Amino acid sequence: MSLTKSKKLNDWIEEIQAMCQPDKVVICDGSTEEYDRLMREMVASGMAVKLNEENRPNSYAFNSDPSDVARVENRTFIASVKEEDAGPTNNWIDPVELKKTMSSLYNGCMKGRTMYVIPFSMGPIGSPIAKNAVEVTDSPYVVVNMHIMARVSTEVLHLIETSDEFIPCLHSVGKPLAEGEKDSRWPCAPLEDKYIAHFPEENLIWSYGSGYGGNALLGKKCLALRIASNMARKEGWMAEHMLILRFTSPEGKQYHIAAAFPSACGKTNLAMLQSTVPGWKVETIGDDIAWMKPGKDGRLYAINPESGFFGVAPGTSDNSNPMALASIKENAIFTNVVVTEDGDVWWEDMGYDCPGGGGTDWKNNPWRQDSGEKGAHPNSRFTARASQCPVICEDWENPTGVAIDIFVFGGKRTTTMPLVHEAASFEHGVYMGATASSEATAASLDQAALRFDPFAMTPFIGYHAGDYIQHWFDMGEKLGDKAPRCFYVNWFRKTDDGKWLWPGFGENSRVLKWMCDRVEGSVGAIETPIGLMPKKEDFYFEGLDLSEDAWKELTKVDTEAFKATVESAREYLAKFGNKLPSKMTDQLEALKSRLG
């Protein structure tokens, strides 16, 4: 019996059904009724906990298995036909061999379970930048999270039926149920049987054994970055690990900024920034991923392909990100946090002690805050609709996207890297993004122990990283003088005695203002060997408690330290072999020459 009007989709569903052998198949419609029904079923089974309606309306908490708490990068594969196409930053397995291995695991894996077919759009439905996809899963937890993180609807199914075009995504928790067997609270497979596989030539994703985060919500990193980055290269656009924000001046002039930072460097915090510059306002378009395509006017237009936030909970507080906390007051999903005695949620560094002094921890055990044990897992998460964010931009779902004025790159460096500098050209900006780095550990010497993360994309580039860097240069040539201006920031400089030099948080808006002033041409800059730096008289200091010595340190170019960084970059880039673009070598040599 045909489940949809698309022969291609029906054939694929029947193929997966025959292999995985579910008890039944359900086509998801993305409705509130569907969401509520699945939540009721998961509460009844013990998988979910309904939180107190007064504290946290229409919200639920889940605890994962301790073996299934984060991305499993060592079990994540790019199964390109040729190994060289995967490159040095990816794990490669021959696609024929991988399909044979995974087909064996998939055989009968959904017995005793329901197979959910989720039609979804990454990006506003019908947008010229969006893509339609279908995820098949046996996890109701995945379905409800996908309701929030992607646009699941019968409208997407109709578009697929009309075009016969979709990206197929197969997922299973890898835990079939024998007749009469009671399900576990969080079903998953052992680590050695977990596979997160991408087949770039087929635009195909197969995931097995994990029910957590980006391993299972296949629209997120798997499709939106690994598969999409490869599609973008072929089709002439960009899929990037970037926040998108709108920064509006007191006069109403809008600037759109896309920023790429490695993990734990403040991407979500910047996306929801509370500006301290009078009259300037930040609005959120996206906090994690940007899809960008040249428009008819030659500028680069960006959409947020996601429709929700899948944020790290620990450290999210009224001090660090009040807008994120406001976004999860209701209609939210929490995974691996503390459930308090009064039926609310709590995590470390939330800004206040756990109400009642304890509750149930992420391992589903009784827990007290004074025990010395962490109650929430460090990678515990919240899932919330972007539309609930108080500072969401009115154009965040504009199908055309927003025109990007500025690219920002950055990392966590306690020494060497200044607060902000601008690239002398787009090609110089590509070099800055490709050599973005963070300190390997807090105790490491900045010059000697750096972790490079090109464009914050190392775990997410779906093909050879050298070709990926070349694509950035190609896009620069295509955009020409309409290419965004490029800047590099570092909020994390410290004094010799370990104190922060820059206050960060809302004060970062002062740096964004200088960038916008540069785009306008209303301020000059100081030329340095590493790029263009702000003149003190052009930077907005009013109301900022910052000493003259601190400013000098934040804008100092330590040539000897930079020479060491250049050598570290040269050593890192060597791994790309003959795929390293010659323009990268040119930029490296030019920087070395400028440093003397």
- Can you name the residues that pair with 346 across neighbouring β-strands? 338
Strands 300-303 and 290-294: antiparallel
Q: Contact at 8 Å (CB) between 249 and 172?
A: no
Phi and psi at residue 24, in whole multiples of 5°?
-155, 165
Measured CA to CA, the distance from residue 475 to residue 470 in angstroms comes to: 9
Distance from C-alpha of 365 to C-alpha of 226, rounded to nearest angstrom: 36
Separation between Cα atoms, residue 495 and residue 362, nearest integer Å: 37
Cα 119 to its chain centre, rounded Å, is: 21
Q: Which residues contact 581 (CB under 8 A, 6 or more apart)?
A: 466, 469, 470, 473
Beta carbons within 10 angstroms of residue 23's beta carbon? 13
Euclidean distance between CA atoms 336 and 375, whole angstroms: 9
CA 139 to CA 20: how far, in whole Å?
13
**Greatest Cα pair distance in the chain:** 75
Q: Name the amino acid, one letter, at 358.
A: G
Q: For residues 259 and 487, what is the distance between their CA atoms, to the nearest angstrom?
A: 9
Q: Is-catalytic flag, 109?
A: no
Element (DSSP H or E) covering residue 246? strand 243-248
CA–CA separation, 531 and 423 (whole Å):
5
Sign of the Cα torsion 383, 48, 190, 361 reads: positive
Residues 449 and 441 sit within 8 Å (Cβ to Cβ) = yes
Closest CA to 512 of 481, 543, 489, 536: 489
Whose tokens are 């209609």? That residue is 331
Residue with tokens 């696609």: 95
Q: How far apart are CA 32 and CA 49, in angstroms?
A: 18
Catalytic residue among 20, 28, 265, 389: 265
Q: What is the DSSP string of 76-132?
A: EEE--SSGGGT-TTSB---HHHHHHHHHHHHTTTTTTSEEEEEEEEESSTT-TT-EE
Residues annotated as part of the active site: 265
